[in-house]
A = this chain, B = another copy of it.
Amino acid sequence: MGTNLVNTVMRLGAHISDDDQGSVHSITLFISLLCACIVIGHLVEETRWINESVTALFMGLCAGGIILLTSKRKSSHILEFNEELFFIYLLPPIIFNAGFQVKKKQFFQNITIIMLFGAIGTLVSFCIISLGAKELFQKMDIGYLELRDYLAIGAIFSATDSVCTLQVLNQDETPMLYSLVFGESVVNDATSVVLFNAIQKVDLSNIDFKATLKLTGNFLYLFTASTLLGVLVGLLSAFIIKRIYFGRHSTDREIALMILLAYLSYMLAELFDLSGILTVFFCGIVMSHYTWHNVTTSSKLTTRHAFATLSFIAETFIFLYVGMDALDMEKWKLISDTPGSYVGVSVGLLGLVLVGRACFVFLLSLISNCTKQSKNDRISFKQQVVIWWAGLMRGAVSMALAYNQFTRFGHTQQPGNAIMITSTITIVLFSTVVFGLLTKPLVRCLLWSSFSSEASSVVLPLLSSAHLSDTVHEMGSGRIHRRPSFCMFLSQPTNIIHYYWRKFDDSCMRPVFGGRGYVSGDLASPKEDIVH
């Protein structure tokens, strides 16, 4: 009792108790590593081939190696891979920021093909990987896996990593490809949720028309509900800030409210078993379209950079962690008896990922191109190759799903599960490093001509005057209405929808939720009004 009391007081003195001392150590190390990543990432940026995610991965590997040596091969990671950490704290800021800074015009122009790729494409990829894995692995000696395990493998390796996509594709250089591949990966998440729910709800031995219909309905419900929730929370934030803060702005409160409501949208979606990623993405879009224009100039600048910074820190953290976790001895020991199977499974899965994505990208592009009359709207073969390649990376989402499927209920010890975990790590590392490193050069090589034309179409001469009008005329004044001409109607049919949406937006939405003087659709996102 005496010693205990002494200990209590001692710990109390240092403010943080023994239980927390471990977390102090790991947090300190992690933050030091994050700082190092930022500095080194900046220094090697000149080379243009290495992106920040690869730097973070390598830093994680190095740190993991050092920890492994100092802890006498006991462990290489200082934080357990934690789904809560990933899904509750790291993912929301990344996806919200993507929605907040996305070029809305590009995104909504490609919405049909994004939905096609995200929903149908993921399904195709899921089927190919599941079936392929079943065929391949049953021939190998990797222990017993259930049918559900194979289906899970299909879903795990169909999940395109949106974080990686954000890092390798540049929104300003290739806006169309960026919105397509990133938009696809967001829809992809909703599809995965439905797939996983379906795997256990539907009787696997008896899939009929009714079950398929139910599945489709489920997907539509999930997609609509998630989107609506995001839009509602976004509009709520716009309404509150417009009404309550009208006339007497308070920068810190505005920013706090925007951050908290964005996070609330994600948590509400998770609470209602919806897709948090979809919700927070659309919440970001609505906030950038309405809320962002109701706040003070200071708040505008602050939110834009603060959200980008949060997202940047979260991304670096994830890659650092994945790198650090890759050297975990416990997993590698389990597969040391069957190195052949491990290599076979990894190569096989990587091949399936490549084939699965190739199938749906080229197939769906073909279908999409058949429906398009104008040659400009079609997806060229070179673009198809880039889309296929840029979505090959598998990241932390795959890791989290694999951990969840193959390490629960103490059946980690089974060789089959250990092989699956190590193979997932290998594929994540390989795809991020190799595919990630090659994407930028590939984009430059293949799309040099189309990329420059695409970029020039975005840099409108209106940009500077639009920016000026944004800072001078606040609060909805200075709108420019342009009736679409007959020529425009014929040449660009998507503009009709855009015109009527703009009309509805001006007459119904803006009076209630605010927004800025509408000049051109693709100028209305926070990313583009940067004050240098």
Contact = CB atoms under 8 A, between A and B. Distances in A.
A15 B276 contact: yes
A405 B12 contact: yes
Interface string A294-321: 0001110110011011001100100000
A6 interface: yes
A12 B252 contact: no
A298 B531 contact: yes
A10 interface: yes
Nearest to A262: B31
A9 B244 contact: no
Interface in A195-232: 195-197, 199-200
A38 B257 contact: yes
A83 B17 contact: yes
Nearest to A52: B253
Question: Which of A5, A41, A193 counts the most B-chain CB atoms under 10 A from its CB?
Answer: A5
A256 B38 contact: yes
Interface stretch (A20-28, A162-170, A360-368, A474-482): A20-28
Contacts of A127: none
Contacts of A312: 252-253, 256
Contact of A255 (B34, B196, B306): B306
B256 A28 contact: no
Interface string A257-268: 101110110011
A260 B439 CA distance: 30
A367 B276 CA distance: 61
Count this chain's copies in the assembly: 2
A11 interface: yes
B28 A264 contact: yes
Question: Which of A43, A301, A409 counts the most B-chain CB atoms under 10 A from its CB?
Answer: A301
A337 interface: no
Nearest to A404: B12
A472 interface: no
A273 interface: yes
A270 B84 contact: no
Contacts of A27: 88, 267
A279 to B, nearest CB: 12
Interface in A378-428: 400-401, 404-405, 408-409
B9 A152 contact: yes
B404 A11 contact: yes
A492 interface: no
A146 interface: yes
A39 B405 contact: no
A329 interface: no
B200 A6 contact: yes
A370 interface: no
Contacts of A453: none
A193 B200 CA distance: 55
A32 interface: yes
A42 interface: yes
B23 A84 contact: yes
Question: Which of A14, A250, A308, A401 counts the most B-chain CB atoms under 10 A from its CB?
Answer: A14
Contact of A308 (B245, B252, B263, B297): B252
A309 B302 CA distance: 10
A31 B244 contact: no
A489 to B, nearest CB: 41
A109 interface: no
Interface in A77-91: 83-84, 87-88
Nearest to A194: B13
Contacts of A253: 38, 41-42, 312
B16 A88 contact: yes
A10 B409 contact: no
B16 A255 contact: no
Contact of A309 (B17, B255, B297): B255
A261 B14 contact: no
Given A15-B270, A24-B267, A197-B13, A305 B256 contact: no
Contacts of A313: 256, 259-260
Contacts of A273: 13-14
A385 to B, nearest CB: 31
Nearest to A91: B15
Nearest to A299: B305
B401 A14 contact: no
Given A14-B273, A306-B302, A42 B245 contact: yes
8 contacts: A9-B405, A10-B197, A12-B404, A13-B195, A16-B88, A42-B253, A252-B308, A256-B313
Interface of A: 1, 4-6, 8-17, 19-20, 23-25, 27-28, 31-32, 34-35, 38-39, 41-43, 83-84, 87-88, 146, 148, 152, 192-193, 195-197, 199-200, 240, 244-245, 250-253, 255-257, 259-261, 263-264, 267-268, 270-271, 273, 276, 297-299, 301-302, 305-306, 308-309, 312-313, 316, 400-401, 404-405, 408-409, 530-531
